[in-house]
Every structure is written in C-alpha cells, then in structure tokens.
C-alpha cells in the first residue's frame, strides 16, 4: 500500500470573500462577529459588513482598483479585520506586513509587493511605525501613493468616502499576499485566492463543528495565515464570533478573554499554550467554557497537547498542519479522534484534499510506513509566489503537488506522523536523527518545560545532537542528569552530546522557533565556524 490518501469529496464554495460575508450576514447578521477587548469594541456581522464597505468605498476614492495591492502593517485590532474584508469587497489585494519588520525588511516588502497604499498605526509600545516607513521609503522610487494612519482625521475621512464601487471579482482572483517568514532566506510573497481562503475556512469550521454560538479566541497575529484564515475565515463560514484578547500575544490577557467572553475555542502555536499553562496564576482562571481549538504552526509536543486537553478543558482540541502556501491547513485531527491519534499524528487529509509521501530522491510515492517528503494537492494550493515563477515551479510540480519540505510517515489509515523538516534532519556519523523524535522523548522528563534539538557541526562525526532545554519553574538539572535519563530509552546516537539550559528561545513574531539561530549561536560560542563552513557531499 502506497502513502497516498484523499479526503472525502464535498461541494466547495465558488464564492468570493465578499459573497461569503453577505451570506453570513443574511443568516447571522445580528449575532456577535468581533470583539476587540483591548479596544473595548464589539460588532455584529451586519455592523462588520458595513465597516468593510466603508473601507471598500474609501479604497475606491483613493483610486485603488481591482488587482491593486494594499499594505496592512498592524498588530491585532478591529481595523485589521475591516481592512481584510474591505479589500476583498473592493477587489484589492491585501498585503500582510509583519509588525516586527523594521527599515530594511519594510523597504524590501514595499518594493517587492508594489503596494499603492499602506495602512498603519503611527506607533505602539514596540515600534515607531510612521518613522520606520519614512526611513524605508527614503531614496526609493515606489508605486506607494497613499499612507493612511489609523486613529487620525485622515482615517475618519477615508471611512466617510461616498464613492460608488463597480467591481467584478472572481473566486480565482488573488485576495491576499502573505510573505513567508524568511527564517531561512529572502521572504517570498504567497498569493492566495478568494477560493483558497473561503474554502479552507469552511472546512475548518466543519471540522471543529462551529455554529453561530461559538466564540473563537484568537491570540495569534492576524497578519499570519493562522490568524487571518484559520481565525477570520472559519468564523466567517460559521457565524462564530472572533475574540481578540490583545494587540499582541499575552498569555494572561488570553486566559482573561477566554474566561470573560466564554470562549469555546482557542487557537495557538505550542509556545503560546506553553506560556498559558506556565502562568503562576493559571489555576485561578475558569476555562470551563472551552470545548475545542487548534494547535498548529509548529510541531506540537505530546505532553503539552495532553495538558491542554485536560487542564484547559479543550477535550476536542485539534491538531492542524499546513503552511502559508496551502492557505494553510491540509490535514487535521477530528474532534472525536482518540487521544492517542491526536497526540501522535497531524491528522489526515481534509475534504477535497490529496496527500502523499514521496521519496526526496526521485519523488516517487513511498510505501505506507516509510518516511519521505509530505506533499499536498487540491483547491488550497497557492496561486504561486508573487513574480517568482522559478521558485513557484520548485515548490509546485507539474501535476499540481505542493512540496512542503516536511518529512513524515503516513499510516495505512491515512493519518500522518510528522518527523521534522528535511533541512532539520541531523546526520550523525551516517545515522539519521530527526530532532522531533528526540524532543518528544525529552518532553517526558518531569523537569522539562520546553526543548529544541538541532544539529551542531562536528569534525569527526559531521554533526552531533544539541539540545536547548528550558526547565519548569523552580527546577534545576545538570547535563549528566538529562543524558542519564536518555540512556537505554533512545538510541545512543540520538542522545544529546551537548545540552544548554536556557530561559527562552529565539522566535519569529508568530511563535515559531528559529532553530537556525540556535545553531548559529552555538557555532559562535563553541568556535566551530571553520567546521560549519566545511563542504559536505
């Protein structure tokens, strides 16, 4: 039996985001749609559509036409959702700009995206956005014509525009450009269509059994695919409400939002759930309203998953897997899957989605149970990388398969166990070591709160295993103690040769651990630069 599976067939929506918003308002117009706790704002679906239409008319008054690019550089707020839906209704392409970007990164995005307008706050506690934008524009010839700052008279005037809009938007039109994180190279603009987004939201809402009575707590950054597709689109498809706890992730604010708003669903990457569980006052929060949610965006440690299901009352917590290029989710566990399946796999193919595992050498489909690269095909595959046909061709093959760069194993029942990134695999003296496997074992140590495993250059073995370990509050441990815990439990070549105890890990703004920075720091600390530069076959 080969490693191939296909989710059940069912009708997809051939609709734009704007058409789905109309559909939502017709069914649930008076229901709560959006809560922004840090702004003390609440809107129904009817009110949210009105705000989106104000944005659409404002864009039209600026001369923005279908296909033009509009940048949004902001942390989480009502205005983010307004721009997201408003651009879709005007036929403009929303360009998500990472709030962590500074001058050089923003200058790159302005050039690459060719945006004609950008919306932003003047400043917040983390950055002087208006000043950074001015620096990024300096000396550049750009198509950027309009800069609109939220909370100013210019923004108010923008929303009062009375322009008549005449647009023809198709489901296959690009609605959104999202830049990959760039943790391993220059960011590429992923072009996602209306059809991509509304259908991923529809299938996720079905998978989590959302109704208009659900309230989804979204502490993730909205600029990221997890926030603006899994967050916004699953609510749009079901009439559920979106609850934004704060401008940026804050563990305490998230749990306060769950308790106060009676959230039934909670989203997050593993690092967010770990931070919430680690709050000293965690047990003081009443989280009994929670039913479901999704942990995704990074490998999900088994022990963390179990704690969330038990201690946070998320008995129907799901695991989702995918990437920005797949809008993002392609596999998901079911809310009623046995716990063992939910903690050991990334689920199986969503409806209307094909999955296969292929040999990294010749791309042939491998037998079930064998490791290989995870590939996906279906409605959710991006239109391509913006203005990068060669990069697109390297990622999407001629048969339409998206090559994820992730390594996994498909069981005979179609469930997939993810073992790591192809580039993360450690080759120690000819033995392949998958960091995920070592991490999962170390999570069973009673003193370990969080762990990341990477390969470190070694003169004799090529690479050796290094672990960065964050201990639970109040605990102490030694390298020898951790290695002794591994003896006889995992193969000798998987036992970390080097262990460093740390308080935090280098992360992107979305909570993804930047393993390459861990490796870089260790190479420098240990004086291994010459070994690291050595060429290998």
- In 3D, which of 301, 291, 320, 323 has the Cα closest to residue 217? 291
For the chain, the domain total comes to 3
pLDDT digits (tens, 9 = 90+) for 253-285: 999 999 999 999 999 988 899 899 999 999 999
Highest mean pLDDT: which range of 187-201, 429-443, 495-509: 187-201
Residues 347 and 220 in one domain: yes
- Residue 373 pLDDT greater than 70, yes or no: yes
pLDDT band at 181 (very low <50, low <70, confident <90, very high): low
The predicted structure's pLDDT at residue 104: 84
pLDDT band at 434 (very low <50, low <70, confident <90, very high): confident
Residues 390 and 282 in one domain: yes
DSSP 325: G
CATH number of the domain encompassing residue 347: 3.40.50.12780
pLDDT digits (tens, 9 = 90+) for 77-121: 999 999 999 999 999 999 999 888 888 889 989 999 999 999 999
> In Å, what is the CA distance from 222 to each residue of 243, 247, 344?
12, 10, 28
Give the percent of the chain with pLDDT over 90: 79
What is the number of H-type helices and E-type strands within the chain? 18, 26
Is 162 among the domain residues?
yes
Residue 82 DSSP SS3: helix
Residue 125 DSSP SS3: coil
pTM of the full structure: 0.84
pLDDT band at 535 (very low <50, low <70, confident <90, very high): very low
Residues 393 and 249 in one domain: yes
Residues 349 and 458 in one domain: no
How far is 364 from 372, CA to CA, in rounded Å?
A: 10
- Residue 199 pLDDT greater than 50, yes or no: yes
How far is 280 from 251, CA to CA, in rounded Å?
A: 11
The predicted structure's pLDDT at residue 532: 79
Mean pLDDT, the chain, integer: 93
Residues 204 and 153 in one domain: no
Residues 282 and 331 in one domain: yes
CATH number of the domain encompassing residue 93: 3.40.50.980
- Residue 184 pLDDT greater than 60, yes or no: no
Is 252 among the domain residues?
yes
Is 19 among the domain residues?
no
Residues 131 and 263 in one domain: no
The predicted structure's pLDDT at residue 295: 92
Residues 382 and 265 in one domain: yes
- In 3D, which of 314, 344, 346, 322 has the Cα closest to residue 333? 346
Average pLDDT over residues 336-350: 91
Residues 229 and 138 in one domain: no
CATH number of the domain encompassing residue 513: 3.30.300.30
The predicted structure's pLDDT at residue 536: 34
Residues 206 and 108 in one domain: no
pLDDT digits (tens, 9 = 90+) for 200-245: 999 999 999 999 999 999 999 999 999 999 999 999 999 999 999 9
The predicted structure's pLDDT at residue 489: 85
Q: Which of 16-20, 136-140, 364-368 has the lowest mean pLDDT?
A: 136-140
Range of the domain at 450: 426-532
Pairing outcome for strands 93-97 and 69-73: parallel
Domain end call among 366, 400, 434: 400
Question: Quick check: 207 and 335 in contact, CB under 8 A?
Answer: yes
Question: Quick check: 407 and 434 in contact, CB under 8 A?
Answer: yes
Residues 382 and 488 in one domain: no
Is 290 among the domain residues?
yes
Is 254 among the domain residues?
yes
Question: Quick check: 75 and 248 in contact, CB under 8 A?
Answer: yes
The predicted structure's pLDDT at residue 509: 67
């Amino acid at each position: 039996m080969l490693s191939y599976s296909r989710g059940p067939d069912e009708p997809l929506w051939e609709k734009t985001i704007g058409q789905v918003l109309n559909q939502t308002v017709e069914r649930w117009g008076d229901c709560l749609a959006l809560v922004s706790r840090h702004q003390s704002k609440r809107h129904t679906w009817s009110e949210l559509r009105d705000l989106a239409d104000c944005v659409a008319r404002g864009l039209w008054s600026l001369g923005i036409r279908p296909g033009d690019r509009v940048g949004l550089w902001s942390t989480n707020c009502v205005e983010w959702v307004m721009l997201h839906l408003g651009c879709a209704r005007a036929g403009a392409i929303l360009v998500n700009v990472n709030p962590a970007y500074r001058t050089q990164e923003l200058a790159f995005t302005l050039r690459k995206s060719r945006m004609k307008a950008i919306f932003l706050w003047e400043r917040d506690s983390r950055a002087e956005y208006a000043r950074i934008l001015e620096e990024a524009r300096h000396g550049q010839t750009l198509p950027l014509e309009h800069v609109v700052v939220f909370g100013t008279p210019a923004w108010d005037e923008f929303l009062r525009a009375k322009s008549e809009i005449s647009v023809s938007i198709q489901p296959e039109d690009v609605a959104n450009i999202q830049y990959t994180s760039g943790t391993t190279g220059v960011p590429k603009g992923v072009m996602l269509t209306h059809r991509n987004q509304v259908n991923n939201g529809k299938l996720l809402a079905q998978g989590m059994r959302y109704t208009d009575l659900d309230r989804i707590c979204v502490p993730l950054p909205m600029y990221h695919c997890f926030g603006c597709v899994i967050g916004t689109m699953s609510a749009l498809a079901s009439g559920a409400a979106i609850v934004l706890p704060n401008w940026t992730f804050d563990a305490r604010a998230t749990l306060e939002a769950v308790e106060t708003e009676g959230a039934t669903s909670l989203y997050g990457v593993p690092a967010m759930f770990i931070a919430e569980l680690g709050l000293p006052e965690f047990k003081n929060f009443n989280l009994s309203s929670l039913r479901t949610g999704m942990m995704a965006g990074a490998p999900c440690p088994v022990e963390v998953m179990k704690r969330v299901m038990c201690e946070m009352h998320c008995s129907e917590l799901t695991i989702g897997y995918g990437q920005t290029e797949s809008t993002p989710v392609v596999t998901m566990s079911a809310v009623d899957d046995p716990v063992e399946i939910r903690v050991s796999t990334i689920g199986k193919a969503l409806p209307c989605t094909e999955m296969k595992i292929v040999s990294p050498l010749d791309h042939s489909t491998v037998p079930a149970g064998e490791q290989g690269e995870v590939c996906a095909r279906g409605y959710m595959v991006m239109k391509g990388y913006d203005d990068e046909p060669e990069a697109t061709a390297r990622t999407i093959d001629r048969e339409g398969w998206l090559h994820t760069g992730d390594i996994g194993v498909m069981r005979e029942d179609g469930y997939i166990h993810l073992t790591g990134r192809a580039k993360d695999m450690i080759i120690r003296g000819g033995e392949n070591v998958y960091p995920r496997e070592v991490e999962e074992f170390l999570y069973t140590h009673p003193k370990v709160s969080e762990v990341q495993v990477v390969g470190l250059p070694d003169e004799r073995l090529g690479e050796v295993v290094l672990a960065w370990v964050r201990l639970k509050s109040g605990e102490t441990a030694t390298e020898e103690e951790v290695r002794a815990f591994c003896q006889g439990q995992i193969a000798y070549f998987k036992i970390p040769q080097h262990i460093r105890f740390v308080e935090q890990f280098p992360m992107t703004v979305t909570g993804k651990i930047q393993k390459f920075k861990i490796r870089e720091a260790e190479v420098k600390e240990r004086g291994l630069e010459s070994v690291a530069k050595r060429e290998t076959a």
